[in-house]
């Protein structure tokens, strides 16, 4: 039998106490990791008719097809619908606080600008509105995928260049993933757009989702690091 006296016994109590505390910390960390692993990422879709599913049955719209694609890739995601047909960047910026107050959001896809372009609105104001949106999301540590838009050619080359530059500039912001053109590969393709020649049909949406999916999965991964 070994007897421990004095300082040696006191040091032993400290060691065992430290080991016990370390075990508790590890257990708590593992418990939090399991909880986070089982918590779906809440992805805000802040957009206009292109992400609201204009002209399509719900099952064929962008959000429904995106959700199905994410599930097929094993991503546990809840979509928060913040897309409103007809919205300009000013409209979306004005209602963002209300959207965020009403629902927890972990990441955001921002798809706006199409209606600004169709109406020939000021690119300076469009940049101001988008900056306000990105600032609000950044303040809440919400990573963003910014998907850009191109102005109608009828508005002239100078306006088109200014319009495109707004998205290119904001796409370089910290915490922002950037996709230059939401409708990439779709304009002018009759088999991929609706009768208005602008909004994607179900097949066009399928192409959109497939193209954007890698970026959205990257966005979801970024959101998980914020949990």
When pLDDT is averaged across residues 189-217 and rounded to a whole number, the result is 96
When pLDDT is averaged across residues 130-144 and rounded to a whole number, the result is 97
Above 50 in pLDDT, residue 76? Answer: yes
Active site residue 49: yes
Alpha helices (H) in the chain, listed in sequence order: 6-37, 49-52, 62-72, 89-102, 114-118, 123-139, 157-170, 202-226
Phi and psi at residue 145, in whole multiples of 5°? -110, 115
Considering the candidates 48, 147, 196, 227, report the single residue annotated as catalytic: 196
Above 80 in pLDDT, residue 10? Answer: no
Band of the pLDDT at 2, cuts 50, 70, 90?
A: very low
> Cα 36 vs. chain centroid, distance in angstroms?
18
Which of the two residues, 103 and 6, has the higher pLDDT score? Answer: 103
Kindly report the average pLDDT of the chain as a whole number. Answer: 88
Considering the candidates 87, 147, 179, 199, report the single residue annotated as catalytic: 199
Above 50 in pLDDT, residue 18? Answer: no
- Per-residue model confidence (pLDDT) at position 102: 86
Active site residue 196: yes
Share of the chain above pLDDT 70, in %: 83
When pLDDT is averaged across residues 65-88 and rounded to a whole number, the result is 98
- Per-residue model confidence (pLDDT) at position 38: 72
> Cα 176 vs. chain centroid, distance in angstroms?
9
- Per-residue model confidence (pLDDT) at position 37: 53
Lateral strand order in the sheet of 107-111: 77-83, 41-47, 107-111, 144-147, 176-179
Considering the candidates 49, 106, 147, 179, report the single residue annotated as catalytic: 49
Distance, in Å, from the CA atom of 94 to the CA atom of 89, rounded to the nearest integer, reads: 9
Active site residue 135: no
Distance, in Å, from the CA atom of 54 to the CA atom of 200, rounded to the nearest integer, reads: 9
């Amino acid at each position: 039998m070994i007897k421990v006296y004095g300082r040696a016994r006191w040091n032993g109590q400290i060691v065992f106490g430290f080991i016990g505390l370390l075990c508790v910390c590890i257990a708590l960390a593992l418990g939090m990791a399991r909880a986070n692993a089982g918590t779906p990422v809440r992805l805000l879709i802040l957009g206009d008719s292109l992400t609201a599913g204009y002209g399509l049955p719900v099952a064929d719209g962008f959000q429904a097809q995106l959700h199905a694609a994410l599930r097929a890739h094993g991503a546990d995601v809840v979509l928060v619908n913040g897309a409103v047909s007809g919205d300009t960047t000013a409209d979306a910026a004005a209602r963002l606080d209300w959207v965020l107050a009403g629902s927890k959001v972990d990441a955001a896809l921002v798809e706006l600008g199409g209606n600004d372009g169709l109406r020939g609105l000021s690119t300076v104001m469009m940049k101001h509105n988008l900056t306000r949106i990105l600032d609000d999301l950044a303040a809440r540590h919400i990573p963003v995928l910014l998907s850009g838009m191109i102005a109608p050619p009828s508005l002239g080359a100078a306006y088109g260049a200014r319009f495109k530059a707004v998205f290119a500039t904001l796409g370089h912001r910290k915490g922002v993933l950037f996709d230059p053109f939401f409708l990439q590969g779709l304009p002018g393709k009759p088999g991929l757009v609706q009768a208005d020649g602008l909004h994607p049909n179900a097949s066009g949406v399928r192409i959109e989702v497939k193209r954007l999916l890698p970026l959205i999965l990257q966005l979801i991964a970024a959101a998980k690091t914020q949990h």
